[in-house]
Structure 1
Amino acid sequence: MYHFEFPGISGGFIGVDVFFVISGFVITGLLTRQMDQGGFRFGDFYARRIRRLVPAFLLVSTVTFLIISPFYIGDDYYIFAKSWLASLMGISNLYYFTELSQYFAPETRSLSLLHTWSLAVEEQFYLLWPAATLWAWRSGQLTRSPLVFLALLIAALLLSVYLAHTHPKAAFYLPPARLFEFMLGAGVALYGHRLPTLGPRQAEALAVAGVAMILATAVFLTSNDPFPGFNALWPTLGTAMVIQAGLVQPGTVTARLLSLPVMVFLGGLSYSLYLWHWPPVALLHYQLIELTWPIRLGLLAAVLLASWLGYKLVENPLRRRPWNFKRAFKILVLVPLLIIWAIQSTIRIADDLSFRIPEERRDLYKIIVQNDSADVHEPCFKGPTRDFVRDQACLFGQPLAEGERPDSVLIGDSHAIALIGFMEVFLESTDLSLLMVTQASTPFIPGELTEQAFPGDEEKIVRNRALTEYLKQEPMTVFISAWWNSYLRSTDFHDYFVATIDWLLDQGHRVVVLEGVPELPSDAHAQCRLKGLEDCSIDAADAAEQRRDFNRFQRDVQARFPSVNWIDPSRVLCDAERCQTVLDGIPLYRDESHLNYIGAQEIGQAFRARFGNPLEPLKALAADSGTPAP
């Protein structure tokens, strides 16, 4: 329901954590019973896990691959193939942690196998827990040391709290921050019988309190709260309480409700439901289809049907096959791994779009996907950090004679280079020469300030030091841009940028701030026309809200430095109601916040047609003041 965007369930993602407790309880109970009976074998344990988990995953992931193939394009298709391989290997949490930590990370809501990160965490638990349990059982620690177990549990919880606050992405995707959740379930399995006996009323109160803790967290927690850490303790402790109450008093009202046929039926389908529920939601997000009430209810019905069929035809029959570990691994893991690897390699090396994108939309695809300014002008973005490229590859406008310096420079990060097409339109009709110096995630901040802004990031510091020395040589017109909406959320960066403009003016430069363009609701929205939608505009009120921090920065700069000039590309995109993301049939963006190269040129053409060339007044001002012309 959380993923289907049912209202009022803002913390529904805690279902994963509830499951981890149940898994810890079930697996630990299974292991200790087998060890007590002398029947535990690692090979048998992992053979059962493979037969239990892999067949349903292969079914769902293969159907997902076939369904998304006509829709997912470019890197999105390749990312699915990589995640497919990682999911079968049981490392999708590591893959997503790495992939989503990158600067140009994909949009999570469109990742069809994103939900398998939690399956990977569970599988990694299976790798460690049986060996740890066997060691504790053989040494007698399982029965002798509940206090040691409790101390380890508290330590695991404190580690989760620490990671949730200091490394939130690692805490979310990696096992250490979730270990205490499995241990809560394991603790009930190991020591629940040693806790004080509960009467029916006490057990009922414990169970009701546990359910209340789970539901309250699902309703009141939001994705903005630190997680897991203490916020994950309440639903997981509540789950352990419900299990414990059911063990000592199976006749409570809560236990009877959880034992109703419909609940048992859903419990039986729970793994299939988990696998099937997310891929259709991801596809709908990718296609920019809103989850209305009819769609939500239709999804519920479709997922229930698919889960039941998958359970009856694939999951349940194959889990009962008497295959040993070697055979199960070969049939269900090794052979599919080779097939998926071959599919991934084919997509990477020779992905033929002709059968997946209608011919009339292929030109749109090329504009969006194959016109990244950072690729078109790669030396100006991915060149050497210290000795940045200063030759013709990164010079625009008027050609320069040997040894001659440009009279202007464009500096900043990926959002700066995304505007080079916009700038080229204006440079065409002037005698200006412009050098572009950009680098990913590296807005210009001069001198010692850059060490404060990017502590320990040597690449950014070296680039900004080199650019600082270059800008000290003689006055120029400096066009400066950055991902304003992101950096200016920080008051520190607000101050850094104000100080940067102060420093540039102090060096005698004429400063021109290139403002940003409205950000899209998602990366997928950049492909709106490619998906066949007619209206690709976004709400102007949302765009105005995005600019709130930038507007404060602009007011502060204008008050202190009235000579600074501003060029706003969004003037041709937004009116009082809507902001356009397509002009004259040309898609303007390549992702959520970056223009594509042709789209930037299109905005430049529209800007010049409506408002004239913004560089001409700057040149006139420079001539009147006797400073070097831009």
Structure 2
Amino acid sequence: MLTWVHGAVRLRSVSNESGGAGDRSASGAGTGYRHDLDGLRGLAIALVVVFHVWMGRVSGGVDVFLVLSGFFFTAMLLRRIETTGAVGVGSTLYRTARRLLPALCLVLAAVLAATVLAQPYTRWADISAQTLASALYYQNWYLAGAELDYLAPDPSVSPLQHLWSMAVQGQFYLLMLAVVGVWSWTLRHRGRLLVWLGGLGVASFWYAASGSAQHQAWTYYDSGARAWELLVGAALAVAAPWVSISKPVRAILAMAGLVTVISCGLLIDGATEFPGPAALYPVLGAAALIVSGMNTGNGPYPWVNRLLATPLLVQLGGLAYSLYLWHWPVLIFYLAEYGESSPGIEGGLLVIAVSLALAVATRRLIETPLRLRPSATRSGMAGHYQRGVGVAMSVLGIGVLAAALSWQGVVKVNPAHPPSELAVSRYPGAAALFEEIAVEPEPMRPTVFEGPRDAPAPTFDGCITPNREVRVCTYGDVNAARTIALVGGSHSEHWLPALELLASEHQFRIVTYLKEGCPLTLAEEPSYAVAPFPECREWSIEVLDLLAEHRPEWVFTTGTRPRWDDGDHVPPEFIDVWTALGDRGLNVLAIRDVPWLRRGEVHYRAVDCLAHRGSSFSCGIDRATALDPDNPADLPASRYPNVFPLDLSDAICRPDRCLVAEGNVLIYRDEHHLTASYARSLAPELGRRIGEITQWW
């Protein structure tokens, strides 16, 4: 994930009539054009593309580009003040938009078209919403919200996910225009501006560090947490006139910076740690390379900077913006088309080749003509072409916004309303399996549009927490003397609709202790975790203490997890929790997890498969692939007198295959969560099993 940097700046020595002592130039970078920084952009985009295509992880390139963006944009504002006496807010915004928006509109239009042609219509609402967010530069906040919303599609499979960084950059531009503008109306002393930027940077870094420890998935996209990286570059632009270091120190900085930038993605998993303190690694590497080439006068750059200034890297740096725009959508649509989690060597080379071709065409046919000054193309074919491209891109941009807004309007006018109750005679759901009754075909409910929103109550009333807070809520018969505690993550939560029906019939309370993505665990990094949740262990320990204090008769939680090859298992972390619950004298109902829909290593939503010409059978998964022949919790639970396994797989799957709908009811609301409607249809069978164990009825 990369962000675009403002165009390379011609770094000149310009006197500062109103600046403080020692202000020699706007950039302080000495004379000449910084080709090495163009090359650094080229190196960064190469790392980003390679890591995305073949390694599936963050390279640190985004952080390098954020530093460069802060450096270039701030240096440009300072030069403008020196030459014109004012920031020029209107002209700066116009020039920036003229540089960035045409290519962006082209890519957004291509993504919309490819989505309509190749993606299921259940994806259109999300892609149209992300198109608006990308075009209006708030994509980072849209994705941050998706990380907290269990009903939102997985943002990692969006062809527009990468544009979050452009949104962060655009918001930073507005911030810097305000800060530098206010500064320009005062004493214009660089030292004061440097103090302002330093204060903002320290506050942002503290916010990023604390946020990464609490909810890293949100913080990753948070502009406030990302600002310090851009402010490092901005501070370098302000402080550059005072930079004076010896050649040996320059050489050391350049070498250290290059090694750091190249090695970052190999040493650090940025997706799980940035923009917290770990991001200092690529940020300081980029800063070292910027400083190593400052104020060299007519002397030679260090050899590292000269290496970065070689034609290949400089030309690649010139393609950085357009290549960044194209490579991620091309990769995502390739993977979606072939149903793979990685393109492999040949597929990856094809993705890169197509992305490069599109980037070159975009730069030559759109970006370069529009960047020419009107005076240079006032007449002749060049002028006509520039005006034609400008008009075409304006029309295209309006069309993109109109299309995205129109589909969002359709969604708003036709909201999905999942059924709160279904007639058992027409929609028996799970009863079609465990009672083996004949079912007359009816239109499936919930529909593919209703399915993603057919979730249990905690998803909507805030009783499943996304963060460290322990939220305790009560459902069922709130005045009953008997209690079942529903504990864990969303795979415990989706059983609540069935438990609510049983609680109403058999008079017991359901007290929930739920956290997104967090089965009870005493491990810092559980073996089954697919995403980092640093606070999960702390949350679990507090919940265990509360359970010991409140002493429910039974604790209902998940007892198995899927394996990433075939079948399912009991992770060792679950057994540790059983021990902890036994030590506290608590009895456990350990429910076997539902089958997770996947093809190979690729998970897919049932509603997307059904909307893409699939059937309930074809969109399902072979039982032998999803589940072991026997409940894997049976054997380890036999050693724990307080643990009682529950297995309702026969009420979800047929003997040979797990379909995505049974008894005219949709089973899955996404890749691996039950719809509330199907969970309610499981209540009779779940009640029979619980009754046998608890002897409550």
Normalising by the residue count of structure 2, what TM-score does the alignment of the two structures yield? 0.64
Q: Which residue of 2 aligns with 1:68?
A: 115
Aligned-residue sequence identity (percent) comes to: 24
1:422 to 2:482 alignment: no
Report deviation, 1:149. Answer: 4.3
Report the counterpart of residue 34 of structure 1 in structure 2. Answer: 80
Q: Does 1:127 align with 2:174?
A: yes
Matches within 5 A, 1:72-111: 72-111=119-158
Matched, 1:461 2:473: yes
Q: Which residue does 1:281 correspond to in 2?
A: 331
Name the CA distance, whole Å, in 2 between partners of 1:616 and 1:440: 20
Of 136, 156, 165 in structure 1, the residue corresponding to residue 213 of structure 2 is: 165
Q: How far is 1:26 from its partner?
A: 0.6
Using the TM superposition, give the Cα deviation of residue 169 of structure 1 relative to its aligned residue in structure 2, in angstroms: 3.3
Alignment of 1:428-577 (within 5 A): 439-441=456-458, 461=473, 463=475, 466=478, 475=506, 486-490=517-521, 492=540, 500=552, 502=554, 515-521=592-598, 524=604, 526=606, 527-528=608-609, 537=621, 551=633, 555=637, 559-560=641-642, 566-569=647-650, 572=653
Q: Which residue is equivalent to 1:18?
A: 64
Q: Show the 5 A alignment for 1:563-602.
A: 566-569=647-650, 572=653, 589-595=668-674
Distance 1:262 1:574, change over 3 A: farther
Aligned length: 531
Q: CA deviation at 1:476?
A: 6.5
* Secondary structure class of the residue paired with 1:95: helix
Distance 1:558 1:30, change over 3 A: same
CA distance in 1 between partners of 2:54 and 2:316 (Å): 22
1:558-587 per-position Cα deviation (integer Å, ceiling 9, x unaligned): 62265x754334884698xxx856799x99
Which position in structure 2 is the counterpart of 1:434? none
Preserved CA contact (<8 Å) 1:269 1:307: yes
In 2, Cα distance between the equivalents of 1:484 and 1:570? 26
Q: Tell me the equivalent position of 2:351.
A: 299
Counterpart residue type for residue 229 of structure 1: G
Mean alpha-carbon deviation: is it higher for 465-474 or for 186-195?
465-474
Distance 2:512 2:118 in 1: 34
Aligned residues of 1:78 and 1:347 also touching (Cα < 8 A): yes
Question: What pairs with 1:148-297 in structure 2 (closer than 5 Å)?
Answer: 149-195=197-243, 197-223=244-270, 225-249=272-296, 250-287=300-337, 288-289=339-340, 290-297=342-349
The aligned amino acid for 1:466 is V
Displacement of 1:65 in angstroms is: 1.4
Asked if the contact 1:480/1:511 (under 8 Å) is kept, the reply is no
Q: Which residue of 2 is the match for residue 415 of structure 1?
A: none
Secondary structure of 2:112's counterpart equals: helix
TM superposition shift of 1:528: 5.0
Partner of 2:451: none
Alignment gaps of 5+ in structure 2: 1-46, 376-386, 439-453, 482-499, 523-539, 557-586
Identify the residue that residue 6 of structure 2 maps to in structure 1. none
Distance apart, 1:11 and its partner CA: 5.1
Q: CA deviation at 1:128?
A: 1.4
Shift of the 553–621 alpha-carbon distance from structure 1 to 2, 3 Å rule, reads closer
Contact 1:397 / 1:427 at 8 angstroms: preserved in 2? no
Match of 1:461, SS state, is strand
Q: Which has the higher helix share?
A: 1
Shift of residue 27, structure 1, vs aligned partner: 0.8
Residue equivalent to 1:311: 363
The answer to whether the 8 Å contact 1:25/1:182 transfers is yes
Q: What is the one-letter code of the residue matched to 2:334?
A: L
Deviation at 1:456, TM superposition (A): 7.4
Quickly say closer, same or farther: Cα 1:443–1:62, change in 2 above 3 A: closer
Map Cα deviations across residues 248-292 of structure 1 (whole Å, 9 max, x no partner). 445211111111111111111110011001112222343423412
Is the aligned partner of 1:347 residue 2:393? no
1:14–1:467 distance in 2 versus 1, CA, 3 Å: farther
Tell me whether 154-163 or 88-97 shows the greater mean CA deviation: 154-163
| Distance in 2 (alpha carbons) for counterparts of 1:423 and 1:558 | 32
| Letter of the structure 2 residue corresponding to residue 555 of structure 1 | A
Q: How far has the Cα of 1:16 moved from its partner?
A: 1.2
Deviates more, 1:472-481 or 1:283-292: 472-481
Q: Displacement, 1:530?
A: 6.3
Assess if the C-alpha contact under 8 Å between 2:150 and 2:459 holds in 1. Answer: no
Distance 1:119 1:331, change over 3 A: farther
- In structure 2, the partner of 1:403 is none
In structure 2, C-alpha distance between the alignment counterparts of 1:461 and 1:539, rounded to whole Å: 35
Q: 1:422 to 1:318 in 2, by over 3 A?
A: same
Asked if the contact 2:478/2:508 (under 8 Å) is kept, the reply is no
Sort the Cα spacing of 1:626 and 1:314 in 2 relative to 1 into closer, same or farther, 3 A: closer
Q: 1:531 to 1:102 in 2, by over 3 A?
A: same
Alpha carbons of structure 1 residues 615 and 215: separation in structure 2 relative to 1, 3 Å? closer
Offset of residue 88 of structure 1: 1.2
Deviates more, 1:23-32 or 1:477-486: 477-486
1:480–1:512 contact (8 Å) kept in structure 2:
no
For residues 419-455 of structure 1, give each alpha carbon's deviation from its aligned partner in whole angstroms, at most 9, with x where no partner exists.
982246446869xxxxxx98334699xxxx999x996
Change (3 A) 1:319 1:571: same
- CA distance in 2 between partners of 1:427 and 1:535 (Å): 23
Aligned AA (2:288): M
Q: Which runs of 5 or more structure 1 residues have no equivalent in the other structure?
A: 352-369, 380-392, 399-418, 431-436, 505-509, 605-612
Cα RMSD between the aligned structures? Answer: 5.0
Question: 8 Å contact 2:48–2:60 — kept in the other structure?
Answer: no
Give the aligned residue type for 1:244: V
One-letter amino acid matched to 2:68: I
CA contact (8 A) 2:261 2:285 kept: yes
Post-superposition Cα deviations, 1:349-403, rounded to whole Å, max 9, x if no partner, equal 669xxxxxxxxxxxxxxxxxx9x9x955x32xxxxxxxxxxxxx478589xxxxx
Offset at residue 129 of structure 1 (A): 0.2
The one-letter code of the counterpart of 1:170 is: W
Amino acid at match of 2:183: A
Cα separation, partners in 2 of 1:132 and 1:478, compared to 1, 3 Å? closer
- CA distance change for structure 1 residues 552 and 161 in 2, over 3 Å: closer, same or farther? farther
Cα drift, residue 142 of structure 1: 4.0
What is the distance in 2 between the residues matched to 1:332 and 1:514? 58
**Whole-Å Cα distance in 2 between the matches of residues 270 and 478 of structure 1?**
58
Give the Cα–Cα distance (whole angstroms) in 1 for the partners of residues 168 and 436 of structure 2.
55
- SS where residue 592 of structure 1 aligns? coil
Give the TM-score taking structure 1 as reference length.
0.70
Shift in Å at residue 74 of structure 1?
3.4
What is the DSSP-based 3-state SS (H/G/I as helix, E as strand, rest coil) of the residue aligned with 2:478? helix
Residues 210 and 242 in structure 1, CA contact (< 8 A), matched pair in contact too: yes
